Structure formats: C-alpha cells, structure tokens
Amino acid sequence: MPVEQLNLVFAALADPTRRAILARLAEGEATVNELVEPSDLSQPTISKHLKVLERAGLVSRGRAAQFRPVRLNAAPLEGAAQWLGDYQRFWAESLERLDVYVKELKRKEGRHGSRRTRR
Amino acid sequence: MPVEQLNLVFAALADPTRRAILARLAEGEATVNELVEPSDLSQPTISKHLKVLERAGLVSRGRAAQFRPVRLNAAPLEGAAQWLGDYQRFWAESLERLDVYVKELKRKEGRHGSRRTRR
C-alpha cells in the first residue's frame, strides 16, 4: 500500500464518527440520509466525513441517480492491518512481561499468605 | 480500548515520520538526537512528533537524567489492530470475489484458446 494512502486511511480512522459510519456500512450500503438519521450531526457534516473516507478509498458511492448509496470498501483496511501486524510481536512481548509480573506477584502473595498462616 | 485513545492512536499513525520513529524504536530505545540524526528534520519537529506519539501512549521516555531515551510502547497498537480485525471478513470477501472473477476470466480465456486450436 502506498505511503500516501496509508496516511489517509489512518487519518480517516482517527475520528469516531467516521468509524461509526464504517460500522454502519458493514451492515450494508446506505444513503447519506440513512447515515445522517441515527447521528446527531447535520447532513453537511456527514458529507464532509464521507469525503474523507472516500479519499482514503474506504467508501465508494453508487451512481444510481439521486440517492447514490454509500458502500464500504474494506480493502485499504488490510494495508493498515498489515502495517500493525509488523508490531504484533511487541505487544505480545508486553503481555508476556505482564504475565511474568502477575505470576511473580502471585508467588509473593502466596508466600505472604503462607507466612500469615504460620503466624 | 477507550474511544479517545483509539482516536489518538490512529491520528498518531497517520504521519509517515511518526511511523518511521516507531519503526526505529522497534529496533531498540533511542535518544531524541539519535532519532533526529537519520531524518531531514529539526530537533523541535521530531520532539513535536514524539509528543503526539506520547499522548497516544505509543512511546514513553526514560527518566535517565539528560538523555531520556525514548521507548516503543506497542500495547495501544493492539487496540487498533483489534478494531481493524472486525473488518477482516470484508477484505477477505473482496479477495474472494476477485478470485472468482480471475477464475472466470481464465475459464473464458481457456475456451477462447481451445476455439483457436480447433481452427
């Protein structure tokens, strides 16, 4: 995936309204009005968010006359997921370290507990 | 992962310099000077990018006196990867559709080829 598109995809995902739009479109295509209705936002605001998503290649608009339904185009998300995938071993390592730490705490707690029992 | 942190993580990843800093830190911690050196950017610019990464929880700074090495903190990337994971079936479906399309093209090409042989 080109660097420039990766920038646009991550920037598009940085907004909760845009993530909510994608979640809605994951259930099926929708008209702009159908996207505006459940939100507290105006139609121009939703349209602005759609333009950001469209530039990132994450949605496309149908040509069907006046309604032009909006469709999810998930392919660019794969590029973002692949980028994140390169770091998977690092968060796995953090979890491993956390696990070791928790076990150590439990071990200490166990010793502490038995000491208490001995008293 | 809280919505607010997910916003900050995706926004932090939307910049190629910040992604390059994370890639460098994946090799080990570094001082700000070590991050400035291979880039064409000034120290204040790199420091600004580090603040964005720090607010997103993606890097942390050591307390070791003047050098304060910067460390990768990959855990928040997992939240972003999980968010993307919910959409995996959609890009898998796109690939599946592409596969069906390519097979159909090949089938047609095959028929075309055999017709040519018959002539």
Bridge-based pairing of strands A70-72 and A59-61 is: antiparallel
- Chain A positions touching B74 (Cβ under 8 A) are 87, 90-91, 93-94
Q: Chain B within 8 Å of A13 (Cβ-Cβ)? A: yes
The CA distance from A112 to the nearest CA of chain B, in Å, is 31
Task: Tell me how far apart the alpha carbons of residues B109 and A12 are, in angstroms, rounded to a whole number.
Answer: 40
Average pLDDT, stretch B66-71? 86
pLDDT over 90 (residue B107): no
Stronger pLDDT, A90 or A17, i.e. the higher one: A17
Task: Tell me how far apart the alpha carbons of residues B114 and A61 are, in angstroms, rounded to a whole number.
Answer: 40
What stretch of H or E contains B68? none
The answer to whether the Cβ–Cβ distance between B87 and A22 falls below 8 Å is yes
Q: Chain B within 8 Å of A75 (Cβ-Cβ)? A: yes
The CA distance from B94 to the nearest CA of chain A, in Å, is 7
Task: Tell me how far apart the alpha carbons of residues A119 and B2 are, in angstroms, rounded to a whole number.
Answer: 45
Task: Tell me how far apart the alpha carbons of residues B49 and A23 are, in angstroms, rounded to a whole number.
Answer: 30
pLDDT over 90 (residue A76): yes
CB atoms within 10 A of CB B52: 19
Single out the residue of B27, B30, B75, B78 nearest to residue B50, CA to CA.
B30
Average pLDDT, stretch A24-35? 95
Q: Chain B within 8 Å of A2 (Cβ-Cβ)? A: no
The answer to whether the Cβ–Cβ distance between B3 and A13 falls below 8 Å is no
Tell the residue number behind the tokens 């097979």, with chain if given: B103
Q: Which of A14, A75, A77 sits opposite B11 (nearest CB)?
A: A14
Task: Tell me how far apart the alpha carbons of residues B6 and B56 are, in angstroms, rounded to a whole number.
Answer: 8
| Amino acid letter for position A69 | P
The CA-CA-CA angle for residues A41, A46, A47, to 5°, reads 145
ipTM of the complex: 0.79
- B77 with B26: CB under 8 angstroms? no
Question: What pLDDT does residue B118 have?
Answer: 45
Q: Nearest residue on chain A to B84, judged by CA atoms?
A: A81
Average pLDDT, stretch B15-35? 96
Q: Nearest residue on chain A to B72, judged by CA atoms?
A: A90
Strand stretches in chain A, DSSP E? 59-61, 70-72
Enumerate the β-bridge partners of residue B30. B70
Percentage of chain A surpassing pLDDT 90? 62
Q: Which of B22, B75, B87 sits opposite A26 (nearest CB)?
A: B87
Question: Half-sphere exposure of residue B33, counting CA atoms within 13 Å on the CB side?
Answer: 3
- A68 with A29: CB under 8 angstroms? no
Tell the residue number behind the tokens 């909760």, with chain if given: A16
The answer to whether the Cβ–Cβ distance between B87 and A77 falls below 8 Å is yes
The CA distance from B113 to the nearest CA of chain A, in Å, is 33
